[in-house]
A and B are shown apart, each in its own frame.
Chain A
Amino acid sequence: MPKYFLLCIILIFMINSDSSAHDVTVEITKSYPSVIVRASYFQAEPLSYAEVMIFSPENDVVEYQYGRTDKSGYFAFVPKSKGDWKITVDDEMGHFIESVVTITADFFTGEGATVIVAHTKHGSTIRDLRPLYKIIFGLALIFGITGIFYGFKARQMLQSKPDKH
């Protein structure tokens, strides 16, 4: 009995705690006329071919640009207006980061030094997953629990039967 209790506790903590050790970082370089985004995991491993969405200050529902990072985790876009541009990067394996870069009038004059903005998100939890992945995760747990329970009951049944040999 204690081992099953322990299993339940581990399960609950596993769901509530970080499901991955990966931190995710985006470095945003503003260099007229483009903004360059580099996404990486902890220890600078790039988020290769991750899904990127760019939302303009005028419309935060329909993306301004959509694409994927290259092999080195880079993505670039050309902002057309001042304001806060939202950037989301998702490797579709549970690592998701959202960042905002502010574009000012100086950017369009091409003056000023390149600015690098870094934004790090520590770890990622089950709560950060997309709804579909959460559903799959939940179903997998239900079927897993069913299997464990089935195995447990089957073993009980076998133990209660007298040995025929």
Chain B
Amino acid sequence: MHISDGIISVPVCLAANAASVLIIYQIGKKTEPEDIPKMGMMGAALFVASLVHFPLAGASIHLGLFGLAGIILGKRAFPVIFTALLLQSLIFQHGGLLTVGVNSINMGAGAFVAMLLWRWRTLPEYVRALLAGFAGIIVPVTLMAVEFQLSGYGRGIVYLLSIYLLAALVESGITLSIVKFFRSVKSDILP
């Protein structure tokens, strides 16, 4: 899910980085001090979760927890995702450095959609958790597939989506488990 350098054109990457910095600045201004420890903990969870890889249908996939980030942090998930991706790129060379902005926007969009789904109060909580977890993966992958297509790397997109469809199902189950856990031990963490 992490796009490497050299796939997306440099002007697009630079524009995405600039947009990311602007979004972070805007969100940072509105962040209250009491939200920051939660952001730090979620950042640590995102950073580590992406490093746990498991093989699936000949590919290697990993957890994202972007849906969970969207549930817990809402819009504030974006700076957290950006920081986690930047450090993954610098320390593990997991994803490109120039494409951090593009990757953050892709995955931040997943968290944003998850936040919207979570706030859909007419649905039961477990359904919202499942949908948020699912969207947290499938939205970034769809955006990534579109970007690959536009960059001339269209082959294998269907395969990519089918692989990540399974990953999104796994992720939605994990998100539901975590939400249920938080609901039972620390309910106030969930908005």
Contacts and interface: CB of A to CB of B under 8 A. Distances in A.
A117 interface: no
Interface string B73-104: 00000000001100110111100000000000
Interface stretch (B3-11, B33-41, B183-191): B33-41
Contact of B43 (A15, A126, A131, A142): A142
B47 interface: yes
A9 interface: no
B90 A142 contact: no
B48 A150 contact: no
Interface string B32-64: 110011011001100110010000000000000
B36 A143 contact: no
Contacts of B44: 139, 142-143
A12 B100 CA distance: 13
Nearest to B48: A135
A131 B39 CA distance: 24
Given A143-B44, A150-B33, A15 B90 contact: yes
Nearest to A156: B33
Contacts of B43: 142, 145-146
A26 B90 CA distance: 29
Nearest to B90: A15
Contacts of B28: 149
B91 A142 contact: no
B39 A146 contact: yes
A155 to B, nearest CB: 10
B31 interface: yes
Nearest to B39: A146
B104 to A, nearest CB: 15
Nearest to A15: B90
A139 B33 contact: no
Main SS at interface, chain A: helix
B90 A149 contact: no
A16 interface: yes
A138 B36 contact: no
A80 interface: no
Contacts of B36: 146, 149-150, 153
A127 interface: yes
B48 A139 contact: yes
Given A142-B40, A153-B36, A154-B33, A126 B84 contact: no
A138 B87 contact: yes
A141 B86 CA distance: 11
Name which of A134, A139, A142, A149 has the most chain B CB atoms within 10 A of its CB: A142
22 contacts: A15-B91, A126-B91, A127-B91, A127-B93, A134-B91, A138-B88, A139-B44, A139-B47, A142-B43, A142-B44, A142-B47, A142-B84, A142-B87, A143-B40, A143-B44, A145-B40, A146-B40, A150-B33, A150-B40, A153-B31, A153-B33, A154-B33
Given A138-B87, A146-B37, 13 more contacts: A127-B91, A131-B92, A134-B91, A135-B48, A138-B47, A139-B48, A142-B44, A142-B84, A142-B87, A145-B83, A149-B31, A149-B39, A150-B33
Interface of A: 12, 15-16, 126-127, 131, 134-135, 137-139, 141-143, 145-147, 149-150, 153-154, 157
